[in-house]
Amino acid sequence: MLEILSYGFMQRALLAGVIIGFLCPLMGIFIVLRRMSLIGDGLSHVALSGIAAGILLNVSPLGVTLTFSVIAALAIEKLRKSYEKYAELSISIIMSFGIGLAVILISLSKSISFDLFGYLFGNITTVLPSDLWVILGLGIVVIISTWLLYKELFYMAFDEEAALLSGVPVKGINLFFIVLIAVTITLSMRIVGILLVSSLMVLPVAASLQIAHSFKHAAFLSIIFSQTAVILGIIISYYFELASGGTIVLLAVLILVSVLLFKYLKNTAKKKNEQA
């Protein structure tokens, strides 16, 4: 067991995994409760074009992707105002643009490299020491920002109109929050992969909502579920040589199914007790 910790790349993968396992459900709980679950998918498709651009220009994909996804996040917010009654349309527009651009950039680079594959589905061997510092630094910024804005984000998720009326700067926080989501997606792509990052934002939250007895409890459970999936997923993917993103997401699905089953059995037992 300790053998895997002796490799530098595994240490980096696990450390990055722990940060991502914290960030994704933390963003996810606000995303899910505000019914914005699609935003992760929209932004990650733009991130894909960022990666393709990075590979094509032979520069660090992390920086380019971060820039691309933050611009896309701001564009979604802007478009949302033009389509007030169709909030999800703004995400679809940006997602289409992201895929279109990514396909063009990938075709320009002539050969689809192995590197791109790793970004799509997650590859634990690809976390470079420089990546780890960026993940650590920006990850802490996202966590502290969410901690400081916790009561505002909670109020806006529960009742945006009431939050606005009590003086919460709803517009500014919305904009800042969507940038935080873009940053989280970019940081997660090495470990879970672009195509699966949104699942790690949504699945642990979906499981926690089934059994949580307060908002704080839901946030806590989401993080526990997500950490379990990420750490176990990285270890399993190492031993069985599987794509880390897929392993992590399947574990998250397994946790969700177990929670649903647990709840079902608990309710059945309760009904039986009541009848007896």
Which residues bind to another protein, rule: CB under 8 A?
33, 148-152, 154-155, 157-159, 161-169, 208-209, 212-218
* Identity of the residue, 78 or 151, whose beta carbon is nearer to another protein in the bound complex: 151
d(CA 137, CA 7): 22
Nearer to another protein, 12 or 80 (CB): 80
Please tell me the total number of residues recorded for the chain in this structure: 276
Separation CA 199–CA 188 (nearest Å):
11
CB of 148 to another protein, least distance (A): 5
Could you tell me the smallest distance in angstroms from the CB atom of residue 34 to another protein? 10
Among residues 97 and 154, whose Cβ is nearest to another protein? Answer: 154
Structure tokens at 249: 């997401």
Which is nearest to 67 in space by CA: 172, 175, 186, 181?
A: 186
Cβ at position 192, least distance to another protein in Å: 25
| Cα 262 from chain centre | 26
CA 75 to chain centre: 19
Which of residues 37 and 49 has its CB atom nearest to another protein in the complex? 37
* Contact indicator for 193, 17 with CB cutoff of 8 Å: no
Q: How many CB atoms lie within 10 A of CB 136?
A: 14
Q: Provide the token pair at 183.
A: 């940053």
Of 163 and 196, the one with the shorter C-beta distance to another protein is 163
CB of 161 to another protein, least distance (A): 7
Distance, CA of 221 to CA of 205 (rounded, Å): 8
Q: How far is the CB of 166 from another protein (least distance, A)?
A: 5
Cα(127)–Cα(135) distance, integer angstroms: 10
d(CA 102, CA 46): 7
Q: Closest distance between another protein and the C-beta of residue 219, in Å?
A: 9
Assess contact for 170 and 163: CB atoms under 8 A. yes
Nearer to another protein, 207 or 234 (CB): 207
Please report how close the Cβ of residue 85 comes to another protein at its closest, in angstroms: 15
Q: Which is nearer to another protein, 39 or 235 (CB)?
A: 39
The gap between the terminal CA atoms of the chain, to the nearest Å, is 48
